Homo-oligomer: A and B are copies of this chain.
Amino acid sequence: MFLRLALWCALAMACGAAAAQSPPISPNGVRTLSPPGAIKVEGTWSLGARAGDLIFVAGMQGVDPATNKLVPDPEGRIRQAFLNIRLIAQSEGATLQDCVRLTIYVSDLAKVAPLVDKVQAELWGKGPYPPRTMFEAKRLFDDDIIEIDSVFYARRKQ
């Protein structure tokens, strides 16, 4: 009897711990994403969300997760933004090749677009590359040079 109670307590505690750690689920089954190793979120947004077979990733800047600061040099910062996106996508089973949409906001097309092409060629290899839109915004958070919005596709596990 005591053993049974002890087992039940252990089970309840385990379930409680699991519930506390598992990601929040919306009424319709949207799962909020916060994979280990990702940048910290401050404010009223989340890194990403899975809904059905789609993974929506928040606008990403080139913040280094180790320091929570923007990477200083432009090319490194652009690479970091893509790496931050990739970490979130991979946590849901999506590769960069499973990206279905990139919207890239930049401070200066002439300066930043060539670096974006260079970094994408490095990360995606010989392609194919995802559909993309890139344009100059008037201003980004932190007067940054780039922010990248993305959507990925990866079948959810049944």
A interface list, Cβ under 8 A from B: 23-24, 26-30, 32, 43-49, 51-54, 56-59, 93-95, 97-103, 105, 109, 113, 116-117, 120-121, 124, 127-141, 147, 149, 151, 153-155
Contact = CB atoms under 8 A, between A and B. Distances in A.
A136 B134 CA distance: 14
Contacts of A121: 44
Contacts of A51: 53-54, 98, 100, 153
B97 A30 contact: yes
A135 B139 contact: yes
Contact of A45 (B48, B53, B59, B132): B132
A131 B98 contact: no
Contact of A131 (B28, B45, B133): B45
